[in-house]
Structure 1
Amino acid sequence: MNDQNFETSFNVPQPPAAVFDAITNVRGWWSEDVKGATDILGSTFDYAYRDVHRAQIRVTELIPDRRVAWHVVQNHFSFTEDKSEWTGTDIVFDIQPVEGGTQLRFTHIGLVPEYECFDVCSDGWGTYIGGSLKALITTGTGRPNRGEPMNASETVLSA
């Protein structure tokens, strides 16, 4: 794997099954406006944030308590010269039992520093993975997007 890909990880005291269940509950941590099944292998779901970002994503791996992977089939950004920067990339959640709980390693394969959206997208993933998804796992309540900006990058892009 290219170590230029965006990657982040965290540990939680919950078991791997709780982490897996939270990841597949995309409406609970990323966006309440996701359309389509996010917990069925081979299914495709649509993500949209205003007119700023739209994506069609296919669930390519669902290994209970171990791994979830998605493939970005189509993508559109309003704020980049190449509107389709994420198209063809893969988003991977690796779940590993560790002493005292579980480690989640998130990798967006193909989201690299050369992309115009890298800083904005890294900020977004930090908000949704390290903030909202982690909160969903540890407290049962995430902070998904409800159509309003959730971080500084989204605030600037929504203006």
Structure 2
Amino acid sequence: MLSTNNNLSHLDYRQQIKVTSTAETAFRALTENIHLWWSKTSASLQKQGGQFTIHFENGYWWTFKILEFTPHSELIWKCIDGEPEFNKEWIGHVLHWSITQDGDQTLIDFHQVGLTPELQCYEVCSKTWDKFIVEHLKTHLEIT
């Protein structure tokens, strides 16, 4: 489990979905197939110590360093850069994906350490994550 020194970690954004997909397919969606449910990527090196940048049509982008890369089980990314200015609030945030196979279903837990209600972008970012995880990722995995 991801540990944090943030005393407000219970306020960090979290989301969980259960899908009728394998852990292997879910892991692939969170690595090599991010562009199919989130947005296009560049400079992608999908392995521990690697990094990737995600780009959106509105010009926003974030770069993540991959801190943990455990196939079919866990991914931890750290945001190391982003644009525009309000997106800089994400720099230093740790995004933790946990994948658990449960029979013919897979549970995906997401936790963004640092994305709390005190941030300017919290409302927009949490609603956008809900859309991408609950709608886009879940739909992608249910039809894959």
TM range (shorter): 0.7 to 0.9
CA apart distance, 1:98: 2.2
Superposition deviation, residue 131 in structure 1: 1.2
Q: 1:1-159 residue pairs with structure 2 within 5 A? A: 2-24=9-31, 25-32=33-40, 34-37=41-44, 39-50=46-57, 53-78=60-85, 80=86, 84-140=88-144
Q: Taking structure 2 as the reference length, what is the TM-score of the superposition? A: 0.85
Normalised by the size of structure 1, how large is the TM-score? Answer: 0.78
**Which consecutive unaligned segments of at least 5 residues does structure 1 have?**
141-159
SS at match of 1:3: helix
List alignment gaps of at least 5 residues for structure 2: none
4+ runs deviating over 6 angstroms:
none
Per-residue CA deviation, residues 5-64 of structure 1 (Å, 9 max, x unaligned), is: 1001011121211111111121111112x1122522222211232455221111111111
CA-based RMSD: 1.7
Distance 1:21 1:84, change over 3 A: same
Of 84-93 and 15-24, more deviation after overlay is shown by 15-24
CA distance in 1, matches of 2:58, 2:29: 27
Identical columns (%): 23
* Count, aligned residues: 136
